[in-house]
Structure 1
Amino acid sequence: MTRIKIFLILITILGVITAQEVEIKTFKIKYISASHIYLQGGEKDGLAVGDELIVYNGSEKIGRIKIEFVSRYSASASVLEKQRDFKIGDIAKLVKEEKTAETAISSQKTDSLISERKMPPYQRKRTAPRALKTKIDGYVSGQYYYFKDLGARKLNFSQPTMRLRLKIKNLWNRHYNFELRFRSRYNLRDKSFSANVPKSEWQNRLYEFTFDYNAPGAFLTYKLGRIISNAFSGVGYIDGALANLKLTNDFYFGLFAGTQPDWRTSNFQTEIQKYGGYLKFERGKFGSKKINVTLAGVGEYHGGTVSREFMYFQVSYYHGRRWNIYHNVEIDVNRYWRKERAKESLSLTGFYLNANYRITSSISASLSYDNRKNYYTYELRTLADSLFDDAFRHGLRANVYFKIFKDYQISLNFGLREKSTDANFSYSYGLNVTRRNFFSKYNRMSFRFSGFDNIFATGFSPNATFSRYLRGGHYLTFSYGNYYYQIKNINDNKLNHWIRILGQIELPARFYINSTYEYDWGSDVKGHRLLFELGYRF
């Protein structure tokens, strides 16, 4: 009996060690203010408000911080404890789940665990589900943009804007979530351009308005409202519902139905209905090996008339942090009037491939191929063939990133594109050089040069930017640039310049101010631009 107990204890310890594998994400400290620590990473990297991170200098643990605000690409945190002062470049580690064999055994004696296993199910202790905490994230802001035209046309323009982004997670302390993205603008011109461009107009955009249930491991999850799903990015927006069924640990089946918002104005409309379903396979996790495969079928209809029917196939694979690949394909199924216009039953209307490879810790590269084409829909069914470009985008793009020494970063990119109607290729190129700690650890200097050449025009644009990070999360940016282009068929040369000053001030109680001033002069435009924004972060 004693041997059996010892054996069960060893199995328990081994299970805890292997099952509770620590998932660690690391973030560099990029700036330190009097009250906050700013990290190089944000929401897209898995950070959320309330997360706690352990700060290391090398292998030495020097403190602990807590995330107070997170945006898509950055985050700020408050200090919970520290053994010594933090420095820019220190590493903060986010530990999603950290249990050791010792803490697991101390929290429940092994003998009691063995005895409980022998009990009938109705006598076993039930563990209460972990309480969830409602989290609110987002921002609301008011903007004012003004352009003073100093040219001969005097096309002065003003534009007040209201923006709102609201995310509520774990409503009622359960796995219910709500998300809202909205923008409202009022355009006011001194002169009316035409009947299609009036002197004044409202432009409102509802990008997302969703309520969803998304409990980990649940058999059924769903979304309601204005939805766009990353499970099948080629499907686009729908106003309706999406249900997702977890068939196994790796396979998911989904159905969606609704109407399609107006693609010009984002307004709700009922003329176009959209239905479909998808099958998804997902295995692994980021940071090691992860594969995601989705096959979807979609139908769009204008009443009883087909607008578009297509199949969508998407694959992504991550091989640790070394390399990853993403690929999607769209195949249109042509029936009725669409078959008459396309002259075929099946059309390859989309093909996109992107691969990224981390050569060393300081060098990475990416290559993408894009062959997405136009396709006929109900709205375009009467468009003349001469105006319908059969191969709107077809080309390659390559990027290379270098990190030289400690503070220099260099990136190069080159793109090549061809249309079926073009005699020659069009190409674009770019170079970006950034120097951190430019005379001071709070300064950044960057230089960018880009250019293009196609059958209509050729041109280039150099610019330089100096940024200064101040205490308290404030920063100030100065930049100068120009762009030159030549219209080939009339041999007309144009040169324009601009200078820009941009700043951000962090106010108390999560308020902030963004402001930009720009002066333009040259062949096409001369005038002042001013953008002011006052916002509040939730």
Structure 2
Amino acid sequence: MTLSILNLYGQEDRPIAEGKVSYITLQNIYVKFETSGLVQPGDTVFIRKDQALVPLFVTESVSSLSCVGKPVAKTDIKVSDVVVIKVKKSSKPTPRKDKIPTGPSSLRTDSVQSPESKLPDKSVPGLERAERIWGRLSATSYSSFSNTSDFNQRMRYTFTLSADHISGGRISTDTYITFTHKLNEWATVKNNIFDAFKIYSLSVNYDVTNKTQVAVGRKINPKIASIGAIDGLQAETKAGNFTLGAVAGTSPDYTDYSFNPKLFEYGGYISHDINNKSGNMSSSLAFFQQTSHGMTDRRFAYFQHDNSLIKNINLFVSSEVDLYALKDSIPTNTISLTSLYLSLRYRVSKQLSAYLSYDARKNVIYYETFKNYLDLLLQDATRQGYQLRINYRPSNSISSSLTGGYRFQKNDIHPMLNVNGFLTFSKVPGINSSVTFSTNWIQSSYVDGMIYGVQLDKELVPSKLSAGINYRLVDNKYLNATSGPRSLQHMAALELSWQISKKMYFSANYDGTFEKSNKYHSIYVSLTQRF
């Protein structure tokens, strides 16, 4: 999905750039940028949470335009939300030969639409198979405590290793493993190792010919990313501008992501791609059947279209249609629109761009996996939402954005309205820093609130050490609240990023929330070594 990106120049030596969330799973967040080479492994991706730059994740894998990582904490981020990275002046463009990030499946929950990722074109006759091996090892600590709760610390260790064309041959491998645990809770790990130990990718790929590939193991296929990871066999071949693929295997267990042979699934897809001087166009259609204990769990079709052939305009369409249902316990073939996502971006000029989107979705129904909750899931009405965003940058030192959102559901007492905006001044005289002022208004059936914020970012040592400080004032008026009609919060955040060496990166973040009687604190520390 082509993104609406706005380069926000925080400083001449430390520019800030925006990308957008393209896909979300229970474990990972995928982000795509419009300009290549902006992000490197170990970079911190931020979200404007309550209009403040708050760490969202540290990138674990990158391609030329995309990156992926695990969220620091629970978040309500959605597909198409804007994220921010701080680009190092010395950063070199990521070679397009890098592989697209991989990650876990949606674990048979309410899925979100995933813009189709682009893999390097290995089908070109005569393309040299050069060996490329890279990986990453990281240790991350996330701690939280307050005056009303005990200290809680969670550790996560991540190992990734990718090897393309080993010894110049036809075999490539991909590995992505994590181990997560809470301190002093080893009993949970001993009870079920897969609650802590996750294998998100462990596959071997073989180039049968320059146009045909076969993969075996656990792998997520970018062309059918909404399916998530598949344990089994995947095959793909190209014929001109068309790509044909088939998949057969099992879905990881939805409770702990372990191997589950009782969740057999299979399907196929066809895609068509056009790349020329005018732009790109990609269309894909997939059919998939998922089962549980031999019974049909879900049968659906997935369509996606991404078009940027018209200058300064990008259109993206994504939808899922369910083809199976149980009516009075009797299997039936049906056609039911499960989700529809439309977005249109128009770049009026270098300074001005506009983005409009529409999102409608129902609960995804797995008739066997969640058969005890069918009545509740089927009663849930379609959720719909609109979003309009205007980005304006009058100069390299001033940038602004205004976003309005409207979300509603049939049984909502009051639809949710949200308006937020920010104004950034880069390289402010006297302090040589970037300063951002922001505000956010939200109104729903349970809250009417305002958030005011200011953030300062400064590069202490060019391309080595940077720091940030943020303050937010949250003024919420709650409807039907038992604890009182109004809540006033003071929120502060501190950030430190240190590029220790070319391949070693350290980051630390503190976030505090201060109310009249309660105080909440969280600390995030991460050390990453690339090789």
Structure 1 residues 171, 439: CA separation in 2 closer, same or farther (over 3 Å shift)?
Answer: farther
Residue in 1 aligned with 2:227?
235
Task: Give yes or no for contact 1:188–1:201 (8 Å, CA) kept in 2.
Answer: no
Equivalent in the alignment of 1:4: none
Match of 1:382 in 2: 372
Equivalent of residue 516 in structure 1, options 474, 488, 509: 509
1:323 aligns to 2:316 (yes or no):
no
Per-residue CA deviation, residues 503-522 of structure 1 (Å, 9 max, x unaligned), is: 11122362222111233211
Higher relative contact order (CA 8 A, sep 6+): 2
Cα distance between partner residues in 1 of 2:399 and 2:331: 47
CA 1:503/1:414 → structure 2, altered by over 3 Å: closer, same or farther? Answer: same
On the 8 A contact 1:496/1:525 being kept in 2, the answer is no
Q: In 1, Cα distance between the equivalents of 2:430 and 2:329?
A: 66
* Conservation of the 8 A alpha-carbon contact between 1:503 and 1:514: yes
Amino acid at match of 1:380: F
Equivalence for 1:185? 180
User: How far 1:213 sits from its partner (Å)?
Assistant: 4.2
Identify if the C-alpha distance between structure 1 residues 138 and 91 changes in structure 2 by more than 3 Å, giving closer, same or farther.
Answer: closer
Equivalence for 1:148? 145
Other-structure match for 2:343:
354
In the alignment, structure 1 residue 369 sits paired with structure 2 residue 384 = no
- 1:472-511 map, 5 Å: 472-490=463-481, 492-508=485-501, 510-511=503-504
Q: Match of 2:523, SS?
A: strand
Instruction: Please tell me whether residue 281 in structure 1 is matched to residue 283 in structure 2.
Output: no
Question: What's the offset of the Cα at 1:532?
Answer: 1.9
Partner of 1:256: 247
Q: 1:273 to 1:357 in 2, by over 3 A?
A: same
How far 1:441 moved relative to its partner?
A: 9.2
SS in 1 for 2:196: strand
Give the Å deviation of 1:277: 0.5
Q: Among 153, 156, 162, which residue is 1:158 paired with? A: 153
Distance 1:95 1:157 in 2: 40
Q: 1:328 to 1:363 in 2, by over 3 A?
A: same
Deviation at 1:94, TM superposition (A): 10
Report the CA distance between 1:170 and its aligned residue: 3.3
Shift of 1:189: 7.4
CA–CA distance in 2 between the matches of 1:365 and 1:339? 47
Encode CA deviations 1:378-419: one digit per residue, 9 max, x unaligned. 222222534544335211111111111221111111111111
Deviation at 1:307, TM superposition (A): 0.3
TM-score by length of 2: 0.72
1:239-270 residue CA offsets vs partner (Å, 9 max, x unmatched): 22221121x21112110011111344333222
Query: In structure 2, how many angstroms separate the alpha carbons of the residues matched to 1:357 and 1:204?
Result: 44
Deviation by residue 1:62-114 (Cα, 9 ceiling, x = unmatched)? xxxxxxx9956899xxxxxxxxxxxx999999999xxxxxxxxxxxxxxxxxx
- 1:134 alignment partner in structure 2: 131
Distance 1:204 1:49 in 2: 28
Alignment RMSD, CA only?
A: 4.0
How many Å separate the matches in 2 of 1:495 and 1:341?
A: 53
Query: 1:315: how far off?
Result: 1.0
Distance between the aligned counterparts of 1:308 and 1:300, measured in 2? Answer: 5
Question: For each residue in 1:96-137, what CA deviation from the matched residue of structure 2 results, as whole angstroms up to 9, or x when unmatched?
Answer: 9xxxxxxxxxxxxxxxxxxxxxxxxxxxxxxx9565433333
> Quick one: distance in 1 between partners of 2:202 and 2:520?
38
Q: Partner of 1:172: helix, strand, or coil?
A: helix
In the aligned structure 2, how far is the partner of 1:73 from the partner of 1:218? 22
Secondary structure, in 3 states, of the residue corresponding to 1:433?
A: strand
Asked whether 1:300 is paired with 2:293, we answer: no
Distance 1:90 1:473 in 2: 10
1:361 is paired with a residue whose SS is coil
User: 1:420 and 1:435 mapped to 2: Cα distance?
Assistant: 42
- Counting only pairs closer than 5 Å after superposition, residues 38-53 of structure 1 correspond to structure 2 as 45-47=35-37
The CA deviation at 1:274 is 1.2
- Equivalent position to 1:526, from 519, 525, 529: 519
Q: Is the 8 A contact 1:48 1:70 kept in 2?
A: no
For 2:450 and 2:467, the matched residues in 1 are separated by 26
Counterpart pick for 1:465 among 455, 458, 467: 455
Task: Tell me which amino acid in the other structure corresponds to 1:165.
Answer: T
Q: 1:313 to 1:508 in 2, by over 3 A?
A: closer
Alpha carbons of 1:356 and 1:275: their partners in 2 closer, same or farther (altered >3 Å)?
same
Shift of 1:346: 1.8
1:299 partner SS: strand
- 1:40·1:73 contact (CA, 8 Å) conserved in 2? no
Give ranges in structure 2 of 5+ residues lacking alignment: 1-6, 20-31, 41-59, 67-87, 97-124
Q: In terms of mean alpha carbon deviation, does 39-48 or 319-328 score higher?
A: 39-48
Q: Deviations over 1:417-452 (max 9, x none)?
A: 111212432222211222222227952111232232
Contact 1:390/1:420, CA 8 A, preserved across alignment: no
Whole-Å separation in 1 of the counterparts to 2:242 and 2:446 = 49
Deviation at 1:481, TM superposition (A): 1.5
CA distance in 2, matches of 1:349, 1:70: 31
Cα separation, 2, equivalents of 1:390 and 1:403: 41
| Distance (whole Å) between structure 2 residues aligned to residue 456 and residue 40 of structure 1 | 34
Render the CA deviation track for 1:165-222: whole Å, top value 9, x for unaligned: 33333322245433333332212479x9xx9xx9x9953433333333469x823123
Compare 134-143 and 463-472 and name the one that shifted more.
Answer: 134-143
User: C-alpha distance in 2, partners of 1:386/1:303?
Assistant: 23
Q: Name the CA distance, whole Å, in 2 between partners of 1:48 and 1:403.
A: 19
- Alpha carbons 1:339, 1:345 under 8 Å: kept: no
Partner amino acid for 1:168?
A: A
CA distance in 1, matches of 2:475, 2:330: 41
Query: Could you say if the C-alpha distance between residues 91 and 202 of structure 1 is closer, same or farther in structure 2, counting changes exceeding 3 Å?
Result: closer
CA contact (8 A) 1:162 1:184 kept: yes
C-alpha distance in 2 between matches for 1:172 and 1:48: 30
Contact 1:402 1:411 in 2 (8 A): yes
Where does 1:164-175 land on structure 2 (aligned, <5 Å)?
A: 164-174=159-169
Asked if 1 retains the 8 angstrom alpha-carbon contact of 2:9 and 2:397, the reply is no
- Secondary structure of the residue aligned to 1:319 is coil
Residues 365, 374 of structure 2: 8 Å contact kept:
no
Q: TM-score, normalised by structure 1?
A: 0.71
May I ask how many residue pairs the two structures share in their alignment?
437
Q: Is the radius of gyration larger for structure 1 or structure 2? A: 1
Is the contact between residue 143 and residue 161 of structure 1 (CA under 8 Å) also seen in structure 2?
yes
